[in-house]
A and B are shown apart, each in its own frame.
Chain A
Amino acid sequence: MERAANSIIKLKTVYVTKTLQKINFQFRHPENVKSITGLLLSCNLFLEKRFNGMGKQVGTLALSNSQKGDVFYSQVAKLDDNDYRQYLERVIYPTIVKRNLSQWGKQYTWFKTNIPIQHAMMDCYYEDTISKKYFNDLGEVLPTLPYEVILYVQYDLKQEK
């Protein structure tokens, strides 16, 4: 994941320990930055493939200006099967029974934006939306708590005079 020129990256880890937990926190911007250029949300809650819950919503994150209160970014944290093999080259076997191909993948890229920094802090709100235990279609149960959500923020640095 490429790092932008003349930038600095900060991150905040949110620890979710309770069901339907609502977490308010503030994120302090570094002093020498002029704008937010990239945002990324990562969640470490994973499911094994047999639970078939990939892409299910885990929680929502909203970021807003401390003074104005308007939300400028909102993102859904999603369940992942956290399969590292998706990074590796796959072999497509010659005996494809069904005549269709599908491929799961994940994209870790910055949400590119340009939000000028006008205040020292931004307000962040994370709400857990997944139930304490995840049930799949077969009635199998998987505990979901605790888990971590990491917010990455990339800033454009002020030019030194």
Chain B
Amino acid sequence: MAYRSKIIKESVEVVVSAPDQIFKQSFEVDKHAGKILGISLISDYDELLYYRGSQKIKINEMEVFPEGYESKLLMQGLNVSVNDRIIKLGEDILPGNRKVEIDYKDTTHGSAPFTPYKVKLYVYSEVIDNQS
């Protein structure tokens, strides 16, 4: 994350309006994106995301995180350095068809009563370097 100016930051928002349902969203990454570096997941109600959330994330038809993958495993607190707040995908994934999909599932949990909330998936990709 050293050269932030060369990193494209895009996001898609999932509005969770009802309990115990799956909400799907998708978007296409910028045409200048050469490779996808990582993602991050946040919510306006962190507590609900932590207790109730699980999701499937697909990039270019590749299942990066499978269905049922708990959101708490993708969350980061304020005690994480800002430059480290990105979930690296381990490899640089080529955007391919540029499609990023998230299927977010809300599940009832005793510690967090439902209230409508938003989940935001950020995708970080690197700009194609035309000079090389």
Contact = CB atoms under 8 A, between A and B. Distances in A.
A5 B76 CA distance: 20
Interface string B23-49: 000000000000000000000001100
Nearest to B112: A84
B129 interface: no
Contact of A84 (B65, B72, B73): B72
Contacts of A82: 51, 111
B90 A84 contact: no
B63 A3 contact: no
A3 B111 contact: no
B89 interface: yes
Given A11-B66, A84-B72, A87-B50, A2 B87 contact: yes
Nearest to A157: B91
B70 A4 contact: no
Interface residues of B, number: 27
Interface residues of A, number: 26
Contact of B77 (A2, A9, A13, A88): A88
Interface in B95-118: 109-111
Interface in A1-21: 1-11, 13
Contacts, number: 62
A42 interface: yes
Contacts of B50: 84, 87
Contact of A150 (B51, B70, B75, B78): B70
A89 B89 contact: no
B126 to A, nearest CB: 16
Contacts of A3: 64-65, 87-90
A1 B77 contact: no
A46 interface: yes
A88 B72 CA distance: 13
Contact of B73 (A1, A4, A5): A1
B91 A5 contact: yes
A30 B42 CA distance: 30
B122 interface: no
Nearest to B50: A84
B68 interface: yes
24 contacts: A1-B74, A2-B88, A2-B90, A3-B87, A3-B89, A3-B90, A4-B90, A6-B90, A7-B90, A46-B111, A82-B51, A84-B72, A87-B46, A87-B50, A87-B76, A87-B79, A88-B77, A88-B78, A88-B79, A89-B77, A89-B78, A89-B79, A150-B68, A150-B70
Interface of A: 1-11, 13, 40, 42, 44, 46, 82, 84, 86-90, 108, 150, 152
